[in-house]
Structure 1
């Protein structure tokens, strides 16, 4: 299944990054990588740890080289690890195409005239 036009994943220099949420605080990098290897080789994996407790904050960033691999991981619906149901989505999306008006085509009112300390009007 291809990505919908409003949800085009953005490619980083090395691949496509997904955000995995719902991780158990005692999850290890090896456990996450083993689970997501089913969709393709994980190029990069990062788990943020809470400074105070040393436990995982509940999310991980994974990077796949190919869009198809990242899509399979995002579309997987029954992922569980250590009894926690996981959810995955793209970490970065392409910005939507904007239909900006050209600056010169906008009609704008002029600023009001200014008076100096002598009362003379200047533009």
Structure 2
């Protein structure tokens, strides 16, 4: 980025008044960071009926039976859902599989990490529902309505 003080910048992260750390814009470097080193099993959350995993890189011509047969080796698959593209009629490239037990779902995810293939496509998988990382936006109170309860959201003049 250019450091010319005569250049006016607009947009998110630039304080036009030049006050405080926001005036440094993106140079302040305060970004949320995803912790990729965390174990996916430790942050998994059970859905209402079971443990749901998302399998990606599913071949567009795969069927539910083929996907079910591939994952029945790792546990009892309660349900399998393949979303189809309305325009083409082919699979969108992902499947949602529901397992009764967490260890079964974890075994299926591990199998995908170890190179499980379906129709010559290497599958990837992870839990569909996970806990947010500690110290993230939820912990900081982002999106809280109580903090701004007295603020009027309307730009119209009051009555």
TM-score, with length taken from structure 2:
0.57
C-alpha displacement at 1:72, in angstroms?
0.3
Q: Which has the larger helix fraction?
A: 2
Paired residues, number: 99
Deviation digits for residues 20-60 of structure 1 (CA, Å, limit 9, x no counterpart) = 01111110000000000011010111100000010000100
Structure 2 residue 118 is matched with structure 1 residue 88: no
Question: Take 1:21 and 1:53, find their aligned partners in 2: how far apart are those partners?
Answer: 18
Runs of 4 or more above 6 Å deviation: none
Greater Rg, structure 1 or structure 2?
A: 1
Q: Which has the higher contact order (CA 8 A, sep 6+)?
A: 1
Q: Mean Cα displacement is larger for which, 8-17 or 92-101?
A: 92-101
What is aligned with 1:67? 102
Q: Which runs of 5+ in 1 are unaligned?
A: 102-123
Deviation digits for residues 44-94 of structure 1 (CA, Å, limit 9, x no counterpart) = 111000000100001000010100001001111221111111111111102
TM-score, with length taken from structure 1:
0.73
What is aligned with 1:37? 72
Q: Which runs of 5+ in 2 are unaligned?
A: 1-37, 142-159
> What value does the CA root-mean-square deviation take over the aligned residues?
2.0
